[in-house]
Structures are given as structure tokens and as C-alpha cells.
Amino acid sequence: MGAYDAELGAAVERAQQGDEDAFAAAYRLVQPGLIGYVRGLVGDEAEDVAADAWLEIARDLSRFRGDGAGFRGWTATIARHRALDHLRRQKRRPRLSLPEQDVLELPDRQDAAAAALEALSTERALELIGSLPREQAEAVLLRVVVGLDGPAAARVLGKRPGAVRTAAYRGLRGLAERLARAYAEG
């Protein structure tokens, strides 16, 4: 993560000075992990929630202080807050699904079979992580998907680093056991 975080830190620093290309580079570096984390929290609404988070990130970028690893943690905290807000709103007024929207979405230019396999494997992985107790699922998502270290994940969750490391360990152990059972059952 060292070179990755150095590249991200440099992009963020340039973005804070108004470099739009640098902001785009920071987005490209952070978005895949961030969207995986948010998808683990809110499911199919992840794109909308992440978009809301990025609006806040862009608005408050000038106030951010830190390096690349700190930026990943900062963005994860913002995304988590937007996800929790979204979940609270959903409880107040559940949203009906519109299957027509799924039908109207056209595939992009990439290989449809490869895209489908990637989506299935990502969806299955997030489904497995989502089956964990919430504390373990969030710890695994932050540590593995977003790539945060224990102290950074702890800051996002408002917990002690040891508690987050333990939750992530238990979650990963639980996933390993489930995968071993599924493999044995064949």
C-alpha cells in the first residue's frame, strides 16, 4: 500500500490546489474500495450513496489534512455516514424497486460475459460478508475491501483498534469456515 498511498497523497494534495485531473486520479484510486464498502452496507443503492459521499468529499476537500492512507479513511468515514443516513431514511419510507430500470440499462462496451462473471463474484463475496454480524462485516470491508489499517478502520467505526482487529479476524475466520463447508458440500 505504500506506493499506492504515496500516489494517492500526491493526487489529493494537487486536487486541493484545484487540479481537476488530480481529483479524478484520487477518485479512480479510492472509488473501487469505497464502492465495495458501501455496497456491503446498503446493497444495490451503493452507487447513489457513494455519489452523495463524493459530493461531500469534493465540497470539503480543502479541509482534509493527511496523507493517502488518511484520505482513504476520511472518505470511508464520510461514505459510512451517508450509508447510515440512507438506511435511516429507508426505515422511515421504504422504496419500491423498479424492475423496468434494470431492463432499460444497456450494457457497456466491455465483454458482457466477463462483466457478468465479475459482478457475480463480487456480489457473492459481498453477500457472504453481509451474512456476518454487522460489526464483523464492517471491519472486514474496511480492512480488506477499502484497505485500511487497524487504527484507521477504528477511527471510521469509532472503536478501539484492537476491537476492530478482533472483529475483522473473527469475520474472516467465519468466512473461511463457510467457504470450507460450501467447498466440502461440493
Q: Cell 468466512 appears where?
A: 175
Q: Where are the alpha helices (DSSP H) in the chain?
A: 2-16, 20-42, 46-60, 68-92, 99-104, 112-130, 134-140, 150-157, 161-185
Range of lowest pLDDT (23-32, 64-73, 97-106, 114-123): 97-106
Three-state DSSP class for residue 175: helix
Three-state DSSP class for residue 147: coil
Three-state DSSP class for residue 164: helix
Query: C-alpha 15: how far from its chain's center?
Result: 21
At 54, the pLDDT band (50, 70, 90 cuts) reads: very high
pLDDT at 17: 96
Q: State the maximum Cα–Cα separation within the chain, in Å, rounded to a whole number.
A: 56
Query: Taking 90 as the threshold, does the pLDDT of residue 91 lie above it?
Result: no
Three-state DSSP class for residue 114: helix
pLDDT at 95: 52
- Cα 83 to Cα 137: distance, rounded to the nearest angstrom: 14
Which cell goes with 25? 486520479
Contact (CB, 8 A) for 142 and 76: yes
Range of lowest pLDDT (12-21, 100-109, 156-165): 100-109
Query: C-alpha 154: how far from its chain's center?
Result: 15
Report DSSP letters for 54-80, one per residue.
HHHHHHHGGG--S-HHHHHHHHHHHHH
- Contacts of 20 by beta carbon, 8 Å cutoff, 6+ apart: none
Mean local confidence (pLDDT), 140-161: 92
At 56, the pLDDT band (50, 70, 90 cuts) reads: very high
pLDDT at 114: 52
The alpha carbons of the chain give a radius of gyration, in whole angstroms, of: 18
